[in-house]
Homo-oligomer: A and B are copies of this chain.
Amino acid sequence: MNTNSSNMMALAPNTSKKRETVCIFGTGDFGRALGHKMIQCGYHVVYGSRSTQISNLIPKDAEVLSHAEAAQKAAIIIIAIQRQHYNFLTPLAEILHGKVVVDISNNLKLNQYPESNAEYLAQLLPGARVVKAFNTVSAWALQSGALDASRQVFVCGDDTEAKEMVMNIVRALGLTPLDQGSLLAAQEIENYPLQLFPMWKFPIFLSLGLTAFFFFYCLALDVIYTYIYEHNNFSFFIAMTIPNRICPVVALILLGLVYLPGVLAAIIQLYRGTKYRRFPDWLDKWMLCRKQLGLIALAFASLHAVFTLASPLRSFVKWRNAKPIISQALNNKTEPLDTTNAWLSDSYLALGIIGFFFFVLVGITSLPSVSNSVNWREFRFVQSKLGYLTLILCTAHTLVYGGKWFLSPSAYKWYLPNIYMLSLVVPCAVLVVKFVLIFPCVDKPLTRIRQGWERNPKSSEQSNYIINKSAV
């Protein structure tokens, strides 16, 4: 077991000041970048290559040997070649026996192969201790000192000690290793760098769908209806008026959808009388993307705020505001202040501003660095208490803003309700059900269920331990 003793160099005391030797198979772009960085950090690097002729692209201080010779010199072998060439490693199985073999490969698309590259490598080399690592780092990130993108390196493997050795190298290169468990996690780690905001996909498509629907709804009611029946060409509403109608509506609906799954989960738990049964799949997925839904709602709310604040700059608004002033001047009279109107306009503005303020507060605590520095109780307080306060204020803002139109027949063009009425459906439903749920006669059994009590203990026959607890 000579190998083992040299393996432990990084941990065990030794007199040499040099770090251990690492072998890299493959002299491609990433293999060279990694080798270069390792040499900088004090490792001795040996490249295993088909041709041992030294290319001037390979770092100066590295050795280049045949694969077999290079592998014998090191306890850790990094495989910087593509999966389709892995089968050339089979003749080296003997030499690689007991060695730490690091798979750093990436695929071109998600789930390209039935098994992960690292598992495939482990099958080819049954005696080797395969570790998956480094695939999330780009050659550019390794090279450039000003490392803006992620420093996280996901590591997984079945051998704890081999994993520890690789994680020491990761740390030495100035990166942060994250242990992801056994080699089964390799599939997920290989998919990671190919992902493009997977948690955001559903919320973004949902909000784009809502936006498109309300755009055509508004276009029909505000532009086409006006053009047909009033012969006014308000096509320029497309630029500012309609976006500023869509944004608050989508924001309010999305905010309602953030709190709807929590309410549904409570109803399901109350109905079932236990928390030990898995929620329907759609509800689980919905719950996991609440943060993203909320942040998109915040984005729409911010756009609404800026659109509204910018409206006095619009030439249409200036023209509309001038009309009553000119007519007062022409009629030679000054209208007194309408106090009711002043109350209404000030109230919905104030409700909107304060609602938006709390919304931004909740959004700030979603920043990773902020949510990491609060404890669980504080996080729940902000996300749940302040979140509901935001929902209440924003719903009230909408109600006060448009209350006068509810009973006015002119608001029902083509017998369709104004979109702001549609926007109230989800948030009002959530608030009503939540209001019922906080009554003691409903809250008490729910709390007991969430603490583990079961109405019919026999009925819960789940095969595995599952906890279903809503974070709201």
Contacts and interface: CB of A to CB of B under 8 A. Distances in A.
Contacts of A416: none
Interface string A162-202: 00100000011010001111100000000011111101000
B377 A373 contact: no
B314 A346 contact: yes
Interface string A264-304: 00000000000010000000000010010000000100110
Contacts of A329: 325-326, 329-330
Contacts of A461: 56
A13 B150 contact: no
B356 A239 contact: no
A40 B184 CA distance: 10
Interface string A358-374: 00010000111111111
Contact of A345 (B315, B325, B328, B337): B315
Nearest to A379: B149
Interface stretch (A139-147, A254-262, A423-431, A434-442): A139-147
A6 to B, nearest CB: 11
Contacts of A325: 322, 325-326, 329
B323 A326 contact: no
A466 to B, nearest CB: 8
A356 B306 contact: yes
B341 A315 contact: yes
A396 interface: no
Which of A33, A143, A174, A310 neighbours the largest number of chain B CB atoms within 10 Å of its CB?
A: A310
A58 B60 CA distance: 51
Which of A28, A59, A357 neighbours the largest number of chain B CB atoms within 10 Å of its CB?
A: A357
Interface residues of A, number: 143
A203 interface: no
Contact of A306 (B152, B312, B357, B366): B357
B310 A353 contact: yes
Contacts of A11: 11, 164
A464 interface: yes
Copies in the complex: 3
Nearest to A306: B353
Contacts of A432: none
A190 to B, nearest CB: 12
Given A14-B161, A377-B193, A305 B308 contact: no
A143 B372 CA distance: 17
Contact of A196 (B14, B199, B342, B381): B381
Nearest to A329: B329
Contact of A150 (B9, B323, B375, B464): B375
Contacts of A341: 315
A117 interface: no
A272 B60 CA distance: 24
B467 A140 contact: yes
Interface of A: 4, 7-11, 13-14, 17-19, 28-29, 32-33, 36, 40-42, 56-60, 136-141, 143-146, 148-152, 158-161, 164, 171-172, 174, 178-182, 192-197, 199, 233, 235-236, 239-241, 243, 276, 288, 291, 299, 302-303, 305-316, 318-319, 321-330, 332, 334-335, 337-339, 341-347, 349-350, 353-354, 356-357, 361, 366-381, 451-452, 460-465, 467, 469, 471
27 contacts: A9-B160, A10-B160, A10-B164, A14-B161, A29-B452, A42-B182, A57-B465, A59-B465, A141-B376, A171-B179, A194-B377, A197-B378, A236-B339, A236-B342, A236-B346, A239-B350, A299-B357, A306-B309, A315-B341, A316-B342, A319-B335, A319-B337, A323-B334, A325-B326, A326-B334, A367-B369, A369-B369
- The 10 A-B residue pairs with the shortest CB-CB distance, nearest first, are A369-B369, A239-B346, A329-B329, A315-B345, A240-B346, A368-B369, A236-B343, A312-B312, A149-B379, A236-B342
